[in-house]
Amino acid sequence: MTPPASALRADNGHGDAHLRPLPDLTFENTFVGALPADPILRNVPRQVQHASYTRVDPTAVRAPQLLAWADDVSEMLGVSRPTSASGIEAQVLGGNKVLAGMQPYAARYAGHQFGHWAGQLGDGRAITLAEVIAVDSNRYELQLKGAGRTPYSRTADGRAVLRSSVREFMCSEAMHYLGVPTTRALSLVATGETVVRDMFYDGNPKAEPGAIVCRVAPSFVRFGNFQIHAAYEELDELKRLADYIIKIHFPELGTPSPAVYARWFEEICKRTGALMAHWMRVGFVHGVMNTDNMSILGLTIDYGPYGWLEGYDPAWTPNTTDAQGRRYAYGNQPKIGLWNVVQLANALVPLVGDKAPLEAALAAYGDTFATNWRRTLGDKLGFSALEGEADDKLVNDMFELMQAVETDMTLFFRFLAHVPTEASAETSDDRSLVEPLCRAFYSEDAFVSLHVDRLAAWLRRYIERVRQDATPDFARRERMDRANPKYVLRNYLAQQAIDSLEKGDSSVLERVMSVLQHPYDDQPEHEELAERRPEWARHKPGCSALSCSS
């Protein structure tokens, strides 16, 4: 595979006096220093007790080679771009070398998976190398995903395949530019080895190229890190972990105490509620909202079988494992977010000593989600605000129409900004009024007279409502274009990048990533990347539904 040229240029054009090679960074390990370690150092699958993590080094690979590099992330960290695809950066970020000052570990956590208690889970294929203080003075952890077995790997090999690694690398960055709280990705490294996976769990395993993503976040601690201590009545360890998180990531709350723990939980509820509104805003479906995949900081974490709504359907899930129950479907995400913070509350009861403050704090989740979602819908429709029952009915009727025929959510909102709202629009014939939205429809059913009549009637109500705000059309369009992305990481685009990269061509990945850095801009030279999903991709593996297979 040929590494992208952008990963190897020596000059980023932005001035790099503050950037240093990766080995020259100063690494810190506050998580390791503050929390109880597993006293057993044998790297074999086992149940671990009374510990927050196990010290373990990555497993070396045959031929690490840099495939992709995120310049914005490296500049944030103060790291200069590598000059060689197989140099020291590839050796470190591919798991072959641990730099001085790094103390790698795998975290211990538990969780509810698809609503059922799963017991110990932990970092089965993720290894945190160390922490760095970035250019902005914030602390970030560097974590390798796919770096080999840990005591939490159970029967797995601790590796990741190229397709899942590319998807995580691309989506981490795409979500950031959409304005969604997320972990980031610094690098993508090919291992030079194959990994055997049964992509759809249908008895057809095959060898695939392996890869490792370096993920970056202030913390990778999840709800499940607290759940495991509470479940096994490790109350001292539970308190130490909570105190550490508050000290490092919520210092404004003050010295830990029962009252502070309750306020901290309320802040987690707010962040999680806001995150759910962000996901709904851009049509993102996580696919695996287990409690071990919920960030304590309210970040999108663990990109597995995710997807974006194309045809609007609240019951859609990209996860084949969830095809029967659809627990984690798009429309269920807000209520699952609430279910998950309730599970965290249960784990924190020993710290607070009383359920009442935690139950009171839970209200912040619903309030935050509702406030953010309502504001978001107003922005997406170009209103100054949503007001009253009439607006609620307008919104509900819109979603009903979008579901009545296969309608691309991203394109519908983007094209809605182009519907004229001047007085003459009211007298336009139905077909002319609906015309700006035509490219959002997948189905010919959208053009039958009954649906055209219903949609045109809704558009006339919408136009009347827009004019109540007395906002000029150009200002409405600007507001809507800031709220409604034109470009999202559709699964078929990610799959095209994967297919090309497997053949040694990184140009598709580079182009898509460049466009996704400006998802709200028109970028007319890349118009085809904003079109609805092509018909050939409707059922193609990797372009529609996916499994949890890595």
DSSP reduced 3-state for 266:
helix
Cα distance between residue 540 and residue 549, in whole Å: 16
**Strands (DSSP E) found in 134-252:** 139-145, 184-197, 206-217
CA 508 to chain centre: 21
Q: List b or e across 275-314, with b for residues whose CB sees 16 or more CB atoms inside 10 angstroms.
A: bbbbbbbbbbbbbbbbbbbbbbbbbbbbbbbbbbbbbbbe
- Which tokens is 345 given? 């509350």
User: Which residue in 292, 322, 379, 391 is the catalytic one?
Assistant: 292
What's the angle, vertex CA 45, arms to CA 211 and CA 144, rounded to 5? 25
Active site residue 292: yes
Tell me, letter by letter, the H, E, C secondary structure of 25-62. Answer: CCEECHHHHHCCECCCCCCCCCCCCCCCEEECCCCCCC
Q: Taking the alpha carbons of 446, 452, 458, 462 in that order, is the dihedral positive or negative? A: positive
Choose among 330, 364, 321: nearest CA to 344: 364
Cα distance between residue 194 and residue 150, in whole Å: 19
Within 8 A by CB and 6+ apart from 26, the residues are 101, 132, 133
Cα distance between residue 59 and residue 158, in whole Å: 9
- Which residues are annotated as catalytic? 292
